[in-house]
Amino acid sequence: MSRRTFVKAGAAGLTGLSATLLLVAAAALAPPLPATDAVRPPENPPATPPRPAFRHDGETVIVTPPPARGPVINPGKGWVAYGSARSQPREVLDLVSLGYTRYRWGTLEPQEGVYNWEIIDQDIADWAAAGKDFAFGVACASSHSTDFWVSPKWVFDAGAKYDTFDLQDPKLRTTGTPGKKLIPVFDDPVFLEKLERFVKALAARYDGHPRIAFIDIRSYGNWGEAHMHPFRKPDIAPEIFQRHLQMHRDAFRQTRLVIPATTALAWSA
């Protein structure tokens, strides 16, 4: 399997934007998801950019692009805005190349076979209305989540094993929020079976979607980053991690997939 990763980097040096902007793979924890019933456009739609001038000189076509009035956006590179397009100020939308967020599996499939696709559909529509593509990942564990069931409760009611971790008084906000956290047993056969069915359903709806730039493979580890910090649990075996990756590769035949991690386990892929 080829390595398809993005290098993480911080944005703390940008005054006023560091809490909003992220590089392509440097995604912080998702904020609580808003309840939405209909697709709504952002409040401040982008202005139509000036068009380049064309001139024919015999068989040659001369194209003169207009002077840039702001940052030059390179598709697939540069800054990414995290969260909803409707919450981004205009100066942020002018800088970013696409939007990104991270969902919880338990939010998207609260009951087996019952999917909340409208949450993703809304974000795709909002970012498209802002003139941007969208990317996302689906995590199964998160030390920041205040909802214990990051992975759906019904998966464990069906027999999948899990552990818990009581995160007490974390010294850094980046470690997580205080409270008891769910730790799926990521190589449990019931867990893997239910996860693979979800991945297939996700791909059936979104593989090849023209407004999706990429999808993160976030099914293993805290925040889906292929590590178990701060849960104090050993990593799964490389061959099990390969299975997590392969189920995504088998399901998504068109949309670009990303391994959002730089751990030794991720590099083993």
Give the CATH number of the domain where residue 102 resides.
3.20.20
The answer, yes or no, to whether residue 139 has pLDDT greater than 90, is: yes
Dihedral sign, Cα of residue 168, residue 169, residue 175, residue 181: positive
Asked if residue 198 lies in contact with residue 233, where contact means CB atoms within 8 angstroms, the answer is: no
Question: Region 70-99: what's the mean pLDDT?
Answer: 87
Highest mean pLDDT: which range of 7-11, 50-54, 72-76, 166-170:
166-170
d(CA 190, CA 192): 5
Q: Is there a domain that residue 245 lies in?
A: yes
**How many domains, in total, are found in the chain?**
1
Predicted TM-score (pTM) of the model is: 0.74
Q: Please, what is the average pLDDT of the chain?
A: 83
d(CA 251, CA 197): 10
For residue 68, the model assigns a pLDDT of 75
Most distant CA pair in the chain, distance: 74
Q: Is there a domain that residue 2 lies in?
A: no
The answer, yes or no, to whether residue 10 has pLDDT greater than 50, is: no
The answer, yes or no, to whether residue 16 has pLDDT greater than 50, is: no
Q: Is there a domain that residue 8 lies in?
A: no
Q: Is there a domain that residue 5 lies in?
A: no
Percent of the chain topping pLDDT 70:
78
Q: Domain range holding 143?
A: 21-32+41-267
Asked if residue 151 lies in contact with residue 141, where contact means CB atoms within 8 angstroms, the answer is: yes
Q: Is there a domain that residue 7 lies in?
A: no
Q: Is there a domain that residue 166 lies in?
A: yes
Q: Is there a domain that residue 12 lies in?
A: no
The answer, yes or no, to whether residue 222 has pLDDT greater than 50, is: yes
Asked if residue 186 lies in contact with residue 70, where contact means CB atoms within 8 angstroms, the answer is: no
Dihedral sign, Cα of residue 192, residue 193, residue 194, residue 197: positive
d(CA 145, CA 174): 12
